[in-house]
Chains A and B, each alone.
Chain A
Amino acid sequence: MLEIIPAGENALIIYFEKKIDSNLLQKISYYSKTIKKDLDKYIIELVPSYVSIFISFNLNQISQFELIRKLEKVLIKKQNMNDARDISIFEIPVYYGFDVGLDLKDVLEKKKMELDQFISIHSQIEYDIFAIGFAPNFAFLGQISNDIRVPRLDTPRISVPAGSVGIAESQTGVYPINSPGGWNLVGKTPLDLSISNIHISSYLRVGEKVRFKPISRKEFITQGGSL
């Protein structure tokens, strides 16, 4: 399926599928780049997310009708597999400790699991970035192993400390700034993932990948982490 639907007077959304599928991400990432390249002068925002690409455009430059026609032309071009690119894998060091992973104990009890086992399951997968949102640089990563899936917290926390690593259902992610949040906290990274750290933004893009690297409490502190 492929559908283009208006999202406002200067916005539209392209739906590629109805179901979340990690195989779709390469396609969405490819078309995001192609659209940006071919139609750059009209486009203000381009937001890929799970199964769609949202676009806002400059009404002074093009009408919605004309832009849809141009998009259709770009979208019928077959994805050129020679363009298959190297996907970057961004490594995020994580200290999985009870003093920073405030829900780690509960998760282990629910899953009847030892800490080592949890760490190895959570850190062995190269996660896909399905979307960026909720907060600047918050990457929705998936899919986590069935063995460690837990529901969101019944009551979200008013403030989750920046750097906290959370899990909820099939997803995991890192809170880049202090914010409210309902995910189960299982660890913390010493890295600054906020948008103030301009070096990391290029890695946190839909279609790229993230891997968690377990570190000790001592390494966490040496690398600038705060407890």
Chain B
Amino acid sequence: MSIKIIKPGIFSTIQDTGRYGYMHQGISVSGALDEYSYHLGNFILNNHKNCASIEVTYGDFSFVSLDNIHICVTGAETEISVNNQPHHLNKVMTLNQGDIFEIKCPKKAIRNYVCIKGGIDSEIFYNSRSCNVREAIGKKITKDQVIKTFQVDKDNFNSIDPSLAPKYENDLTTLRVLPAYQFHEFSDKDKALFFSQFYSISKDFDRTGVRLNGKKMIDVLSGVISEGISVGSIEITPQGMPIILMRDAPTIGGYPKIGTVISLDLPYLAQSGFGKKVKFELTNYHETTTNRIEFNGLFDIK
């Protein structure tokens, strides 16, 4: 079973839930940036939760199916078609051998997950199929690349109430932040500025990190001794600007960090592109933990 890429889009990679247990070797967690859409795709296809799918950034992606397969697209609202016939997000699609599948560039959010029944059969490296270009683990998908998928015997699927699917089309991305790392070492004035202003996403955003533009914080520590990095932690550069670290970020870093964005809000950041407005909101550990455990239960995350 396989598909052959016609248009790879500007940045498409194979991702699963990530690579865990190797941070001490300097290996990042990686994995799907929008955990919500990724898990939803596997849920709809009734796949195992770790089945690898294709993370497509800014659409413009197409392939020809070389076998009869079932797929599902999740994530950003966009035009989806099979042989030029329109199809829907978050629904199972049946592709026959020779069918051409395409997704157009989404207008408001930026990432889609092309999930395939059975999952993608690519090389496993340190327990994961996730590509991390910065670490030279895998490569972005290219034109004419043939991607193998696992054969499945059963065609059993799940359907979801469309209202349960995440919506990424808001003009503002609000990110809840937990006080963490050097939170208490920032001045009250800087913290007030950080939590009150509207930032916007700069041109520098990718799977490694998202750099924001806004009013500068003033009394920023010049640096800290390099320490282990939590995905979602917010570094403040010596210029007083935030960088939110994403799943491909280096495992240690030496900028002071004002806090950590909660994992359930990172999908919304992952779906936000250049110019999008971002606001931070302080939250607490108790509520965050309860919500995360509920999410884990929903998608059977152990």
The answer to whether A20 and B250 have CB atoms under 8 Å apart is: no
Q: Is there an interface contact between A9 and B135, defined as CB atoms closer than 8 Å?
A: no
Cross-chain contact B25 with A9 (CB below 8 angstroms): no
A48 part of interface (Cβ distance < 8 Å): yes
When the two chains form their complex, are residues A45 and B225 in contact, meaning their CB atoms are under 8 A apart?
no
A137-195 at interface with B (beta carbon < 8 Å): 137-138, 140, 177-179, 194-195
Check B24–A48 contact: CB distance below 8 A. yes
- CA–CA, A50 to B252, complex, Å? 10
> Cα distance A55–B230 when bound, in Å?
9
Stretch at the interface among B49-57, B78-86, B176-184, B236-244: B176-184
- Identify which of B135, B227, B228, B288 gathers the most chain A CB atoms within 10 Å of its CB: B228
Contact A136 B21 (CB under 8 A): no
Chain B residues with CB below 8 A from A59, complex form: 289, 292-293, 296
User: What's the nearest-Cβ distance from chain B to residue A145, in Å?
Assistant: 21
- Docked complex: B249-264 residues within 8 A CB-CB of A: 250-253, 260, 262-263
Contact of B252 among A47, A64, A137, A195 (CB under 8 A): A47
Check A54/B228 contact, CB under 8 A, given A10-B292, A49-B252, A131-B252. Answer: yes
Asked whether A5 and B27 contact (CB < 8 A) given A131-B252, A177-B135, the answer is: no
Nearest-Cβ distance from residue A127 to partner chain B, whole angstroms: 16
Kindly state whether residue B136 has any CB partner on chain A within 8 Å: yes
Distance, CA A119 to CA B272, complexed state (A): 50
User: A1-45 toward B: CB 8 Å interface, digit per residue (1/0)?
Assistant: 000011111110100001010000000000010000000000011
Say which one of A110-118, A199-207, A214-222 lies at the interface with B. Answer: A199-207
A8 engages B233 (CB within 8 Å): yes
How distant is the Cα of A127 from the Cα of B23 in the complex, in angstroms? 22
Q: Is the CB of A9 within 8 A of B285?
A: yes
Residues of chain A with a CB closer than 8 A to B228's CB: 7, 11, 13, 45, 47, 49, 52-55
B157 beta carbon closer than 8 Å to chain A: no
Specify which of A46, A50, A60, A140 is in contact with B227 (CB 8 Å cutoff).
A50
- Decide: B227 and A137 in contact? CB cutoff 8 A: no
Question: CA A50 – CA B181 in complex, angstroms?
Answer: 16
- The chain B residue sitting closest to A140, CB to CB, is B226
From B137, B180, B293, B301, A7 is in contact (CB under 8 Å) with B180
Which partner residue on chain A sits nearest B259 by CB separation? A8
Flag if B225 contacts A51 (CB, 8 Å): yes
A52 to chain B: which residues have CB within 8 Å?
225, 227-228
Are B25 and A8 neighbours in the complex by a CB distance under 8 Å? no
Which residue of the partner chain, among A6, A50, A53, A55, contacts B226 with CB atoms under 8 Å?
A: A50
Q: Which residue of chain A is the closest to B263 with respect to CB atoms?
A: A9
List chain A residues, Cβ under 8 A from B64: none
The one of A6, A58, A133, A178 that contacts B285, using a Cβ cutoff of 8 Å: A6
**B226, A133: Cβ atoms closer than 8 Å:** yes
Q: Would you call B227 and A132 a contact (CB within 8 A)? A: no
Complex Cα distance, B20 from A94, in Å, reads 32
Q: Does chain B have a CB within 8 A of A227?
A: no
Cβ-based interface call for B232 (8 A): yes
Does B302 make an interface contact (CB < 8 A)?
A: yes
Are A44's CB and B135's CB within 8 A? no
Say whether, besides A7-B181, A8-B178, A177-B136, A54 and B293 are in contact (CB < 8 Å). Answer: no
Q: Is the CB of A195 within 8 A of B227?
A: no
Q: Judge whether A206 and B260 touch: CB under 8 Å.
A: no
Which residue on chain B has the smallest CB distance to residue A11?
B230
Is A54 touching B289 in the complex (CB atoms < 8 A)? no
Instruction: Tell me whether B98 is interfacial, beta carbon within 8 Å.
Output: no
**Distance (whole angstroms) from the CB of B269 to the closest CB of chain A:** 14
The 3 closest A-B CB pairs, nearest first, are: A54-B228, A133-B252, A47-B228
Chain A positions near chain B (C-beta within 8 angstroms): 5-11, 13, 18, 20, 32, 44-56, 58-60, 63-64, 131-138, 140, 177-179, 194-195, 201, 204-206
Please name 20 further chain A to chain B contacts, defined as beta carbons within 8 Å, in addition to the given A60-B296, A195-B126, sorted by A numbering: A6-B285, A7-B233, A9-B263, A9-B288, A13-B181, A45-B29, A47-B251, A49-B252, A51-B227, A54-B23, A54-B252, A135-B134, A135-B135, A136-B137, A194-B136, A195-B25, A195-B137, A201-B25, A204-B25, A206-B24
Which residues on B are within 8 Å of A, measured CB to CB?
A: 20-27, 29, 126, 134-137, 178-181, 225-233, 250-253, 260, 262-263, 285, 288-289, 292-293, 296, 301-302
13 contacts between A and B (CB under 8 A): A7-B180, A8-B260, A9-B262, A9-B292, A11-B260, A18-B225, A20-B225, A44-B21, A132-B26, A178-B136, A195-B27, A195-B137, A204-B25
